[in-house]
Amino acid sequence: MSLHCQRLGDGPDLVLLHGWGLHSGIWDGVAERLADRFRVHLIDLPGHGHSAPPAEFDLDGVCDLLVEAVPAGAHWLGWSLGGTLAGGVAARFPARVARLVLVAANPRFVAAPDWPAAMQPEILEGFGRDMMRDHRATLMRFLSLVARGAPDGTVLRRLRAALQAAPSPTMEALRGGLGILRDADLRPALETLDAPVLWLGGARDTLVPIEALRAVAARHPAMRLQEFAAAGHAPFVSHPVEFVGAVQEFLS
């Protein structure tokens, strides 16, 4: 299958991957600015937006589809679930990734005894149960968590408008995304990544605690971390100008 991909601008290739339950339209407002310097590839993940669902939505399968959609040697930027997928691509196909930007992406999304700065497993399991009863209401509740910590109500309004602007994600894709967030652990891959990495995180993020990104930066001094003091889980929505500036500076 092929993925829906919109392309903007000219220059070095830059792939943008959205988060769980949304679509590439979430990048409106930053994609156009990034297109001043890059050829931006806006991909709808399988079963999201205008992309057809795959037979199975798992980490390896989605990564295989993603690398087929864009040229080798691109920069990859992923937000939340998209960050896990971008990290998976870099780990499995290192020659295809020039630089990596991970936005509000936790190397391990759910907490473990050796990784406490993460979502508690029962919360993620609750999303799975609620989704079976009313997936639309569950997505709306998730967006409220994404917007928590933002400086005002603009982020939640933008997220809700984006959700309405494209076809709803399939249940298979939603379940698969939750499975990836539950099971994926990129910490071993970070030890061997060749690509330069920039982590971007909101200090008020309640889904991916900034302490997790600080722990990564402390363990991997070559990786850069930039914090947005007044942002939550979606700094590119609340602080688009600062966000684009950070990405452009890192990729230049």
Catalytic residue set: 80, 205, 233
Cβ atoms 34, 9 nearer than 8 A: yes
Distance of CA 108 to the CA centre of its chain: 13
d(CA 128, CA 150): 25
Q: What size, in residues, is the chain? A: 252
Radius of gyration of the chain (CA): 16
Cβ atoms 13, 75 nearer than 8 A: yes
Q: Give the helix/strand (H/E) hosting 250.
A: helix 240-251
> Which is it for strands 39-43 and 74-79: parallel, antiparallel or unpaired?
unpaired
Cβ atoms 9, 36 nearer than 8 A: yes
